[in-house]
Amino acid sequence: MIDFELTPEEQAMIDAAHKEALEVVRPISRYYDEHEHESPKDFIEQQWQQQAQGGGSILGLGVGASLRILENCWGDAGLMLVAPSSGLGGAAILASGTQEQQANFLKRFGEGEPKWGAMAMTEPGAGSDTAAIQTTAVLDTETNEWVLNGEKIFITGGQRSMESDGLVVVWATVDRTAGRAGMKPFVVEAGTPGATIDKVENKLGIRASDTATLILDNCRIPYENILGSPEVRRVDSSQTAGFKRAMATFDMTRPIIAAMALGVGRASLDFVRETLEKEGIPIRYGLPSHKLTAIERDVMEMEAAYKAALTLMLRATWMMSQFQPNSLEASMAKAKAGIVVAWITQKAVEMMGPLGYSRKYLLEKWMRDGKINDIFEGTGQINMLIVARRILDYTREELK
C-alpha cells in the first residue's frame, strides 16, 4: 500500500528545512540572482557542515527527502543546486555502478572540503535524442585506460564539480554505429588531464547555480571508471543496457526535479495568498463557481493543479524508495510539475500586476526559476512521449 505518512524525524527535517529557507536562504536569494557567478561561500560551508553532521546529501530517496527538497526550493531553487552533494553524478553512479564503485566514488562526499557531482549528457548536436551522442570513449589496450573525446554542454554544477574534489559522469559511446547500445557512463574525476571547463552559461533562472560546458580532449581515465559492462549488445535500441542505465538514472532524478518545481510553485502560491489576505480579499471555499470572483477561481485552480502534481511526485518518489519500477510515474510527475510550475508562476505574476513584475519581490524571479523544470532532465515533450509509449505499449520507433 502506498503510504505518504512521515516519521517524526522526517517531519522535523522538513520543518528545519522550511525554517532555514525562510531565515537563511530567502534573505540572500535576490543577491545571488543578480550576481550569477559569485559563489555563496558562507552558505556552501554551512550546507557542507550540515551534511557532515548527518543532514545527508541533496540526493535522497523517500517521501521525506523529496519534501525536504521542496522546502529547499521554496527558499531558492538555484541555491539548492549550489549546496554541495553528489548530485546527478551520484544518481548515475547509484543507478549504474557496482557496490564497489558506489562506495569508492561516493565516499568523498562526506569528508574533506565541499565538493559536487554532476552528469554530462547533452551535446551541441544531441539534446533529447541521446542516440545522437558523438562523444567517444576508446579503450587504449596498452595502458588499459579509456580515452574520451567530445564536448558536453549545459552541465548543472559542472564547474564546481571539476574545481572541487568532485566528479562528472560523462555519457559517451564506445561504438557510434550501435546507436543507444553503444552508450556508456564514465566517471571523470576532477583534475583529470584533458577534461576542461570551457565556459559557464549566463541564464534566465536558477542563476545561483553554475551551468557549464566540458571539453574532453584525449581525456584518459582508468578502466574501472566505466559504470557497468563495456560490452555492446545490439538488440532493440529501446532496451539496450546502456540506454536502460541512462533511463534508470532519470527515473531517480525526475521525481527530484518535480519536487524542485513544486517548491517554486508553492512559493508563488503562498505569495499570492498572503498578498490577497493583506488586502482583505478572502478566498471563499465551498461556494459554487458562478458565485466566485475571477481571482478566487484562479487561486483555486492553481491550488488544484499544485496538489495534483504533488500527488504524482509523491507517488513516483515512494515507488523509488521501495525500489519499484517507476519509469512511467517519474515521467508523469516531472512532466506535470514542469507544466504546473510554469503556469502557476506566470499566472501569479499576471494576477499581482506591478507587484509581480517588480524586482522588489521574488515573484518574477520564481517565474524565471520555474521554467527550467520543464526543460532539463528531459523536456516536457519528451516526458509526454515516454508516458504515451508506456501507456499505449508503443516502441520508440512506433511513436516519435
Please tell me whether residues 220 and 105 are part of one structural domain.
Answer: yes
Whether 274 is covered by a domain: the verdict is: yes
pLDDT for 116: 96
What residue numbers bound the domain in which 327 lies?
1-27+58-82+235-400
- Of 195, 211, 234, the one marking the end of a domain is 234
Whether 194 is covered by a domain: the verdict is: yes
Please tell me whether residues 259 and 111 are part of one structural domain.
Answer: no
Please tell me whether residues 119 and 73 are part of one structural domain.
Answer: no
Average per-residue pLDDT in the chain? 92
Active site residue 201: no
The domain total for the chain is 2
Whether 49 is covered by a domain: the verdict is: no
Strands (E), 44-129: 117-120
Whether 327 is covered by a domain: the verdict is: yes
HSE-CB at 109 with a 13 A cutoff on CA atoms is: 30
Q: Which of 19-23, 41-45, 392-396 has the lowest mean pLDDT?
A: 392-396
What pTM was computed for the model?
0.92
At CA 43, angle to CA 213 and CA 359, rounded to 5? 75
How do residues 306-325 score in pLDDT, each as one tens digit? Answer: 999 999 999 999 999 998 99
Catalytic member of 301, 377, 397, 398: 377
How do residues 218-266 score in pLDDT, each as one tens digit? Answer: 999 999 999 988 888 765 544 456 667 677 888 889 999 999 999 999 9
Whether 250 is covered by a domain: the verdict is: yes
AA letter at 315: R
Q: Which of 252, 241, 232 is nearest to 174 (CA)?
A: 232
Backbone angles phi, psi at 211, to 5 degrees: -130, 115
Instruction: Map grid coordinates 542516440 to a residue.
Output: 131
Please tell me whether residues 271 and 224 are part of one structural domain.
Answer: no
Please tell me whether residues 20 and 143 are part of one structural domain.
Answer: no
- Of 210, 234, 258, the one marking the end of a domain is 234
Whether 37 is covered by a domain: the verdict is: no
Q: By three-state DSSP, how is residue 337 classified?
A: helix
- Of 179, 208, 234, the one marking the end of a domain is 234
